[in-house]
Structure 1
Amino acid sequence: MPRHKEFDPENCLNQVMHLFWEKGYQDTSIADLVQRSGVQRYGLYETFGDKQELFQRALDWYLSTVISQYLARLESEDSEPSLTEIEIFFEQFIDYLDHPSSSLGCLICNTAVEGAVHDPIVISRVQQYLERLRRAFARALKSAQHNGELAEGTDIVQITEFLTGSVLGISTYARSPASREDVKRYVRGILAMLKQL
């Protein structure tokens, strides 16, 4: 008879996700994971696998919770997003920069630049996130073009890549020693560009 788990796997995964977010994959030890989650090593291994598998699960959890919340309006099936939804998406960063955790940046973006991570599954999660951003932005931009908010000749692909890169830029800038006000100015610059389209 399998042993009953004495902890909530989702709560554990949430704790682990935040630890990886704070310290990165390389600087997070199994001892750190045990201490943060309050779950013994064998419990973590039995439920999630080794550190690499746990990191993969933490990335999935981040994508399905944090990222889904930020992209909710752009990915909504109940309405057709447009330029307004893109602006609201970036305005969220201005609000978030007042939160102490904003200095952590983005777990997926941090992972993308953490050179020691070469696992194909982890790389696929980063690519999945970038593609998700591209789809969301392109969908809204095409809708805006269809509605006459953008000129017919507007290069949707170029703007999509600019916006996708801007998300990585905001996350990296937020993780730097730059002041929160400087990062906010950067975000406002992106918003100003959107208004000029």
Structure 2
Amino acid sequence: MPRVKQFNEEEILKKAMELFWERGFHATSIQNLVSHLGINRASLYDTFGGKEELFNRAFKEYRSKTGNVLKEIFDTEDSVRAGLKKLFDMAIDEAKTDQARKGCFVVNTTTELIPGDEAIHKVLSDNKTNIESLFINYLQKGIDNGEIDVSKNAESIGLMFFALYSGLRVLAKVDSDSDKLNLMVQAGLSVLD
């Protein structure tokens, strides 16, 4: 008779995501996972397949949540300028409260795993394209509704805002001074004037 799982798979996935986010893929051993998750090796392998599969599921969950936050802001905030400000304010608030200075899981993974890992490169490239599209479409909405001048190029500005957002997440790991981060955001938003 098969054994019944004595743990909540979603809760374990969340804990794994936090550990990978804080330590990175390579610095997280199976023993770290077993200790942090409170499950034995057999359960980890039976449920998730192994470290790489667990990482991939945790990473997918993080990307899904992040994308949903962006979509929610962009879907509910009619003013593009206000929506972008809200997004950047949220990122700055997260940086101020991030005691461990974990930064952004996607950005961390990009810098850790891209060299030499083609599978994760594809995942990250697809994620980048999807997030860039969210920015571009949101800016196009602002152009279409007259909030942003029609002479502005939604694609180039969207790519710039994606780079600003990613860069802010990296810089906040080193210096989470909200005044400096807000200056960056104000300079970025001035492109919409």
Q: TM-score scaled to structure 1, two decimals?
A: 0.87
Match of 2:186 among 184, 187, 191: 191
Instruction: State the secondary structure of the residue aligned to 1:6.
Output: coil
Residues 2, 66 of structure 1: alpha-carbon distance in 2 compared, 3 angstrom cutoff: farther
- Pairwise CA distance, 1:196: 4.5
CA distance in 2, matches of 1:97, 1:161: 22
Whole-Å Cα distance in 2 between the matches of residues 101 and 124 of structure 1? 31
- The letter of the residue matching 2:121 is I
Which structure 2 residues correspond to residues 100-139 of structure 1 after superposition, within 5 A? 100-101=98-99, 103-115=101-113, 118-139=116-137
Please give the residue correspondences for 1:29-178 in structure 2 after superposition, counting only pairs within 5 Å: 29-74=29-74, 76=75, 82-101=80-99, 103-115=101-113, 118-176=116-174, 178=175
- Structure 1 spans left out of the alignment, 5+ residues: none
Structure 1 pair 9–114 and aligned structure 2 pair: CA distance change class (3 A): same
Closer, same or farther: CA 150–102 of 1 in aligned 2, 3 Å = farther
**CA offset at residue 130 of structure 1?**
1.2
- State the 1:125 CA deviation: 2.6
Alignment partners' CA distance in 1, 2:116 and 2:79 = 35
Asked if the contact 1:105/1:172 (under 8 Å) is kept, the reply is: yes
**1:51-70 CA deviation, whole Å, 9 max, x = no partner?**
11111011011112344235
Query: How many equivalent residue pairs?
Result: 192
Task: Give RMSD over aligned pairs.
Answer: 2.2
Aligned-pair CA distance for 1:131: 1.8
What TM-score, normalized by structure 2, do the two folds share? 0.88
The residue number in structure 1 matching 2:8 is: 8
The structural deviation recorded for 1:72 is 2.1
Q: Tell me, which stretches of 5 or more residues in structure 2 are unaligned?
A: none
